[in-house]
Amino acid sequence: MKAPPFGYRRVSSAAEAADALRELGSDARILAGGQSLLPMLSVRIASPSHLVDIGRADDLRHITADNGSLRIGAAATQWSVENDQATTAAAPLLADAISRAGQVPIRHRGTVVGSIAHADPSAEIPAAVLASGATLIAASTGSEREISADDFFQGPYMTALEEGELLREVRIDRWPDGTGHAFEEFSHSHESWPVVTAAVLVLLNGGTIDRVAIAMSGVDGRPVRAGQAEHELTGQAPTPELLAEAAQSATRDLEPFSDVFGSGRYRKRVATALVRRALTTATTRAGGGA
Amino acid sequence: MTIPDVREHTTEKNWIGKSIPRLEDRRFLLGKGGYIDDLVLPNMLEVALVRSIYPHARIVSIDTSEAEALPGVAAVVTGAQAAEMTDPLPDFGPDPENHPWRCLAVDKVRYNGEGVVAIAAESRAIAEDAAELVVIEYEPLEPIVDPMAAKEDGSPLVHETLGTNIAFHREFTFGEVDADFEGADRIISDTLHWGRSGGQPIETVGAVADYDDASGMMSIHANSLSFTSYLFMLAGTLRVPSNKLDMHPVSAGGSFGSKLWEVKTPTIAGMLSRLCGRPVKFLQDRMENISNGDHHGSDRRYEVDLAVMNDGTLRSIKITTVEDYGAYIQFGVGHHGNALAQVTGPYKMSSVYYDVTAVLTNKCQQGAYRGFGSEVGNWVLERMVDLAAAELEMDPAEIRRRNFLEPDQFPYFIPTGNVYDSGDYGGVLDKALELADYAGWRQRQTEARAEGRNVGIGICTCQERSVFSATEFWFWFDEPGAPVSSMPESVTLDVDALGNITATLYSCAMWGNSPETMVAQLVGEEFDVDPQTVNVVYASSNQGLPATGPGGSRFTVMVAGAVEVASAKIKKKGAAIAAHLLEANVEDLTWVNGGFEVAGTPTARMELADIAIQAHLFKHGLPEEIESGLEASHVYDHPYTTMPNDDRTDLGVFYPFMGHACHIAVVEVDPDTGKVDFLDYAAVHDCGTMVNPRSLCGHIVGGTAQGIGTSLLEEFVYDDDGVLQTPSFAEYVIPTSMDVPELKIGHQETPSPYTPHGIKGGGEAGRMMAPAAISAAIDDALRDHGVRVRRLPATPERIVDWIDGGG
């Protein structure tokens, strides 16, 4: 389990990283925390020609909250984000998801943006990002563009990033005060890979659901939103029966993949249970009685 | 051999029974453990293998030219080339000439992950680069995955020369089985399946070989060194004279059985060292260890009938089992000998029928894993007792108590011929019920169920056989190839001129057990010295005495026997010296608190150090017959073995020192996900006299954690096409400290009448009990859903399938 030969370049800024990607071509990969990429190299699933190490790029390590938006740079570690007061205030759902994304030593190296760019279909952080309606900022030499989370995840380990683009930042717009959040995960052991996760945000207004977001991972080739269930919940009073029905609705049309961690049928069952629990917890946290 | 003398044990002990800090800990905690990966010899090469991507395929051609041309590559060896340099690997199974096991595959591959080509290079990374350049053309063959299909006529064959996939089949009848079944009120029947898992050491199997073509000496540093009496077989494989193979024991980051007799790794390293004329390291990576480590655990399907009376009395059991051994069968069906050693558990049962079929398939072969197959037998018996309790509507503790052997019935010969030396099973059960607060949990369970929670309590009362005899490797056959009868352990004790003691051990270095601590405490007890002052070293095999190493929970008992006699030899010489210098009769000397004194005259006394300096430096002041020095060795042979009878209706005594434990698990099952959480867990063990209670607790905690993994999480999964789906820790999930409950541990000490100090083995404890307790707890939690655990691991998905009735 040794990596194949590769070139290595350390960059000190986002602009240098983008330049390096342009110069080195499509076989170059960004190295951030390396918690997914380096094991892939070790088992030789990936064999990039070059690694562009952004770990010391100062303009990529930011975690800032302003004008209601949380901005996390590509080199900010999971541990620093989940323990950041701006994050826990602006995006507690993301903080919860990060706390389940591997053991503490892994989170000290792994990055939030790296997990998004890696786009593992079962991972925690992409589900939370999707539920949060986040915006992804892709940078290439001389230009930037914004990609909504809905459009960003395209399939297993596939994203909307194009050749030469660096995922520079994730921006999460803060939900209003009083929003309830919940993150639920099923994994076989406490620290093993996630099988299914559910990320939920609920905002109540006068006893009815004003706004709700439901995202799941581990049920499709990419994290998915449950738009139909969100629609059915909006404007309704959150009774246990309603939340259970919404959870059924959230997974009704899914045809999850099967692997050694769980069959598609099992994933669907677990997702339904996790969405129901997450809706219940989030609604309670939002001040509802469910 | 007849029954050995019954010993009198004193309860006055200075060091045995104390939880002293382990001697091994300091160097491991300081990062000075000296593992294989730490060992770097000058000019050393490293090895990587090309392993088969197919479970079953003919090797059409291998092109190594590009790999050989890569800078830094010293040698590229195919299986066919390896077969010209080495002989088949030593194999204790039946008919090895018809399924030869080689260090690399020749002609065809027989499982996904089998080694095909070995590469030695300046670094492991270069060797892996070269491995990617080897071009192998395969002709895929139909994979043989399902053992039930594999044993039928017409199945494709794993080994054509064998002519069948059935490597072994035999029926055994012990006692009056038919009569016992005819007289039974009920026959309880079930079908059970124990899935394949394995021990997971932190450091995998590794070897550093250094062949010296001047002396012809093959030196190999290995963390898989055991059975030193059998190393001549490895020398044969390597084609070196048996007195030119020198194996150096290296500490292992755990074994749990998984390194028991791992000869493939040292063979590949030794072969390449001789070929290249340089030292060679081969350390398996995790995927090699899992897919090609030759030490998967049991994989058994069972049909079982239990004959019971309506009052709960157990009479007889019929067991028919089919075991999926994988592509080879290196230890034969010795795993079933382990099961037969305690097949009736702690219960009075008068007869046993046992039918075992060993099937070969396209999977990594089995080796050893904590329990060596007896843990499976425990699970099966306890599953059946639980089923009987359920059908008879008896409390699971009560049906067990009703059938226990009583303390005054020992020594007790079970139907297979093995003996249980001693026990007090009711005492252990009482302690466990109290420790677990069984009555309280039954109350809390009722309350939880009223809230709709699925809380269950499981009890098991299981045996832990210890200290195996060699007979269990051959009593399967009417005409065994080698009816060997020796399985010794040795020690040398050397008292230096200042009275400081060095103990030399002759088998495995620290494997995760505590051999140094055990020996130091035993020596401390003999000589009244602080165990921390005892120096413990390991000899290489060429300077060695016969030794077997840990396995079958034997090491502490066996080394205690060696220490006892070696100490007596030293004391005898010491007494002669002291008697001479004190001008006393040797019969008048007694050993008191670290020295000899004249009985009744405590001032006439010599300390061990006083005697030692005389022995080392002043020979000419001593009687003529006393040689210089103060050291002694002893080779301790198995203290209680009897031979099987001719028709194998009596297998003899082969696993006589019988430990026992009761585990009580309290779980809650989430019916939505099938996840099992522990609410409580109690374990009371009796392995005779304890040498170090804390290190025994380590065994119990670690073994129980592995038992939890076996029960709920761990499985080597081969898909229908024979492809291994769990090649790394990403997919093969082991429990973490967060998944293992805090155990409540209790002890009972029922000394063995036949061993030094009354010690019994305890090294496999935990894994031999936990699966039975956890299975019962899951049943109990889900009894409203009609769930009965018939298959392990009881993964969350299987549990929800059982709830849904689709299992």
Q: How far apart are alpha carbons B17 and B29 in whole angstroms?
A: 24
Q: What are phi and psi of B709, to 5 degrees?
A: -60, -45
Please provide the distance, in angstroms rounded to a whole number, between the alpha carbons at the two ends of chain B: 50
Taking contacts as CB-CB distances below 8 angstroms, the residues of chain A near B285 are 1
Residues 688-727 of B with CB under 8 A from A: 713, 717, 725-726
A153 CA: distance to closest CA in chain B (Å):
23
Residue B170 parent element (H or E): strand B166-174
Chain A neighbors of B728, CB-CB under 8 A? 43
Q: What residue spans define the domains of chain A?
A: 7-53, 61-173, 180-285
CA distance A267 to chain B (A): 9
If 0-12 CB within 10 Å is exposed, 13-18 middle and 19+ buried, where does residue B146 land? middle
Residue B807: per-residue pLDDT: 46
Residue to substitute from B51, B673, B714, B724, interface A, most A β-carbons within 10 A:
B673
Picking from B233, B266, B273, the residue whose alpha carbon sits closest to that of residue B248 is B266
Q: pLDDT tens digit string along B258-304? A: 999 999 999 999 999 999 999 999 999 999 999 999 999 999 999 99
Residue written as tokens 């050393």? Answer: B44
Quickly list DSSP for B238-257: HTS-GGGEEEEE---S--TT
Spell out which residues of chain A touch residue B726, defining contact as CB-CB under 8 Å. Answer: 260
pLDDT in tens, A193-251: 999 999 999 999 999 999 999 999 999 999 999 999 999 999 999 999 999 999 999 99
pLDDT at B492: 98
Six token digits for residue B407: 């303390």
Residue B3 has pLDDT above 90, yes or no: no
Which chain B residue has its CA at the smallest distance from A271's CA? B673
Mean pLDDT confidence for B143-158 = 98
pLDDT digits (tens, 9 = 90+) for B419-478: 999 999 999 999 999 999 999 999 999 999 999 999 999 999 999 999 999 999 899 999
Please tell me the distance from the alpha carbon of residue A172 to that of residue A165, in angstroms, as a whole number: 20
Name the residue among B378, B368, B442 with its Cα closest to residue B766. B378
Per-residue confidence at B6, pLDDT binned at 50, 70, 90? very high
Other Cβ atoms within 10 Å of B324 Cβ, number: 24
Range(s) for CATH 3.30.365.10 in chain B? 25-32+488-636, 300-471+644-803
Percent of all residues in chain B with a pLDDT value above 70, rounded to a whole number = 100
**Token code pair at residue B270:** 């030794």
Q: How confident is the model at residue A61 (pLDDT cuts 50, 70, 90)?
A: very high
**CATH number, span A7-53:** 3.30.43.10
Q: Are the C-beta atoms of A91 and A45 separated by less than 8 Å?
A: no
What span, in angstroms and rounded, lies between the C-alpha atoms of B135 and B128? 14
For range A37-61, the mean pLDDT? 96
B658 vs B425, B473, B560, CA distance in Å?
Answer: 11, 19, 17
State the amino acid at position B556 in one-letter form.
T
Q: What is the pLDDT of residue A133?
A: 97
Q: What per-residue confidence (pLDDT) applies to B370?
A: 97
Is some CB atom of chain B closer than 8 A to the CB atom of A38? Answer: no
Enumerate the residues of chain B whose CB falls inside 8 A of the CB of residue A270: 672-673
Average pLDDT of the residues in B532-558: 95
B797 in reach of chain A (CB within 8 A): yes
CATH class of A61-173: alpha beta
Backbone dihedral region of B468: left (phi > 0), alpha (psi from -120 to 50 degrees) or beta? Answer: beta
Residue B360 pLDDT exceeds 60: yes
CA-nearest residue of chain A to B709? A189
Smallest Cβ–Cβ distance between B673 and the set A43, A263, A273 belongs to: A273
CATH 3.90.1170.50 residue ranges of chain B are 36-141+223-251+261-278
Q: Which of B125, B735, B800 lies nearest to residue A189, judging by beta carbons?
A: B735
Identify the CATH homologous superfamily for domain A180-285. Answer: CO dehydrogenase flavoprotein, C-terminal domain (3.30.390.50)
Do residues B703 and B765 make contact, with C-beta atoms less than 8 angstroms apart?
yes
The top-level CATH class assigned to B36-141+223-251+261-278 is alpha beta
Q: Kindly state the tokens that stand for B598.
A: 């004249």
pLDDT digits (tens, 9 = 90+) for B332-347: 999 999 999 999 999 9
State the architecture of B300-471+644-803 in CATH terms: 2-Layer Sandwich (3.30)
- Is the pLDDT at B612 greater than 90, yes or no? yes
Residue B805, SS3 per DSSP: coil
The per-residue pLDDT for range B76-130, each reduced to its tens digit, is 999 999 999 999 999 999 989 999 999 999 999 999 999 999 999 999 999 999 9
pLDDT digits (tens, 9 = 90+) for B619-661: 999 999 999 999 999 999 999 999 999 999 999 999 999 999 9
Give the span between the Cα atoms of B390 and B387, in whole angstroms: 5
User: What would the mean pLDDT of B510-516 be, rounded to a whole number?
Assistant: 91
Q: Which two tokens stand for residue B599?
A: 């009985």
Kindly report the nearest CA distance between residue A145 and chain B, in angstroms: 35
Q: What's residue B806's pLDDT?
A: 56
Distance, in Å, from the CA atom of A82 to the CA atom of A96, rounded to the nearest integer, reads 8
Put residue B440 in one of left, alpha, beta given phi > 0 → left and psi -120 to 50 → alpha: alpha
Say if the ipTM goes beyond 0.90. yes
Which pLDDT tens digit goes with each residue over B657-683?
999 999 999 999 999 999 999 999 999
Name the one residue in this structure whose structure tokens are 């071009």.
B135
CA dihedral B575, B578, B584, B587 (to 10 degrees): -10
pLDDT value at position A288? 81
Phi, psi of A59 (to 5 degrees): -85, 10
Q: Residue B192 belongs to what H/E stretch?
A: strand B186-194
Mean of pLDDT values over B410-425:
98
At B131 the three-state DSSP class reads helix
Give dist(CA A59, CA B326) in Å, integer: 55
Residue B285 forms contact with A (CB below 8 Å)? yes
Please state whether beta strands B186-194 and B300-308 pair in parallel, antiparallel, or not at all (unpaired): antiparallel
Strand partners, A183: A199
Question: CA distances (Å), B544 to each of B236, B547, B551, in order?
Answer: 18, 8, 19
Q: Which of B360, B312, B352 is nearest to B146 (CA)?
A: B360
Fold agreement (A7-53, A61-173): no
Structure tokens, A54: 């952004």
The predicted structure's pLDDT at residue A86: 87
Asked if the model's pLDDT at residue B804 lies above 70, the reply is: yes
Task: Establish if B122 touches chain A: CB-CB under 8 angstroms.
Answer: no
The CATH code belonging to domain B25-32+488-636 is: 3.30.365.10
pLDDT band for position A66 (50/70/90)?
confident
